[in-house]
Structure 1
Amino acid sequence: MPMLQERHQALTEGGHVLLEHGGSFQSFISQAGNDARKMVELIVEKIPSYRDEATYEGKRIAFYKRAQILVADFWGMMEARGEGGVSNVDWLTMFADYRVPQALVYLGVLRYSDSLLQALKNGERMSSGDRREVEIRGCSIWSVELIKERLRELVRQKDGQACDVNSAIIDFYLWPFAKQHHKEMAHIPIHLTRCIYY
């Protein structure tokens, strides 16, 4: 198993935080009130292995994929129970990994440059924080934000009412779509980055 030491460290960090709160994630996350953004910030502050950050053109870029998906899953679970209560969910972005960018390329939302596509087809590994990896993830986030705004506009035009679709819901659609259609999109390479962040 690759990165066994890093995986063990990540589990240990999360375990320590849970032990400090009686083994309850809900107890831990309640410190952030019911705000999705504050929840992500709390997770990233208390569990270092969730600090999915890169430096791009001299600026810190924070993806926080695992922290965001953890909050989104918690929100989804609370909604399914009928308890709701998580606010500011629209602050969450899509969960920038490797499978959703592949789906976005397949759907014609993203297009890779010839040189990037060739590097991906050659199986070139990108380190976490590599400019190309950051751009793929960042452009995927921006693409989903544009999809979200377009969906909201279409609903407003059609129904005359607001639509509460958010980026997490779009990601929850795109990721399984990519898995279900993996054969059709096999010609679109995913970027290869070995890290603990996604």
Structure 2
Amino acid sequence: VSHQRALTEGGRVLLEHGGSFRSFISQAGNDAQKMVELIVEKIPSYRDEATYEGRRISFYKRAQILVADFWGVMEARGEGSITNMDWLTMFADYRVPQALVYLGVLRYSDTLMQVLKNGELLLSGDRREVEIRGCSIWSVELIKERLQKLVQERDGQTCDINATVIDFYLWPFAKEHHKEMAHIPIHHTRCIYY
């Protein structure tokens, strides 16, 4: 899918709703999962999927970011809230995995590290690319569970932190500390999904 086609798809959907993203997304109610599913259904270039060991894996990075950004705007304006935000995962790209490796949360095999250091282009859907993205999602889920447990132990109350908030921390952290992380390569994949 070309960038032009992706823009055309998004523009078509907006035109069908008077140019309003809010009008379009309102069809999903206030549920984050339904919003992502609506975006992926109506805008095919958001279908960030791969086949892994015979199973379809859905990352939906851009669709999830779109919902998370909408959530952030709605919260900032005090215009209601989006439910089911915990359904969203971290936004599986190239920068957050680098931060996870730097922080010792994720570890690449020596073979994979060498491939990445050599700058080898991983095709979208390549087993290694899917594993990096999938393991990053799982790592952030484990971080989320640990943070929730720590807050429960420390404060005796539940913590509603979600993967979106953790991603919103990790991505800028990686950008800010890019010099310290320079020895950890990012994976290179040319596609419209990141």
- So what's the TM-score if we normalise by structure 1? 0.97
Give 1:171's aligned residue.
Answer: 167
Distance 2:139 2:69 in 1: 22
Any gaps of 5 or more consecutive residues in structure 2? Answer: none
Counterpart selection for 1:123 from 103, 109, 119: 119
Distance 1:42 1:196 in 2: 19
Q: State the AA in 2 paired with 1:116.
A: L
Give 2:24's aligned residue.
Answer: 28
Give 2:10's aligned residue.
Answer: 14
Counterpart selection for 1:51 from 47, 50, 66: 47
Give 1:192's aligned residue.
Answer: 188
Distance 1:90 1:129 in 2: 25
Any gaps of 5 or more consecutive residues in structure 1? Answer: none
Distance 1:64 1:84 in 2: 24
Asked if 1:65 is matched to 2:61, the reply is yes
Distance 1:40 1:132 in 2: 25
TM-fit CA distance, 1:84: 2.7
Residue identity over aligned pairs, in percent, reads 83
Deviations 1:54-93 (A, max 9, x none): 0000000000000000000000100000113210000000
Distance 1:84 1:108 in 2: 37
Give 1:87's aligned residue.
Answer: 83
Secondary structure of 1:145's aligned partner? helix
Deviations 1:153-182 (A, max 9, x none): 000000000101000000000000000000
Q: How does 1:109-188 map to 2 (within 5 A)?
A: 109-188=105-184
Asked if 1:38 is matched to 2:72, the reply is no
Distance 1:152 1:81 in 2: 27
Distance 1:116 1:177 in 2: 23
Distance 1:192 1:85 in 2: 36
Secondary structure of 1:147's aligned partner? helix
Distance 2:110 2:9 in 1: 41
Distance 2:29 2:80 in 1: 13
Distance 2:155 2:78 in 1: 26
Distance 1:106 1:100 in 2: 10
Secondary structure of 2:112's aligned partner? helix
Distance 2:143 2:17 in 1: 38
- So what's the TM-score if we normalise by structure 2? 0.99
Q: State the AA in 2 paired with 1:35.
A: D
Q: State the AA in 2 paired with 1:172.
A: F
Runs of 4+ deviating beyond 6 Å: none
RMSD between superposed Cα atoms in Å: 0.7
Q: State the AA in 2 paired with 1:10.
A: A
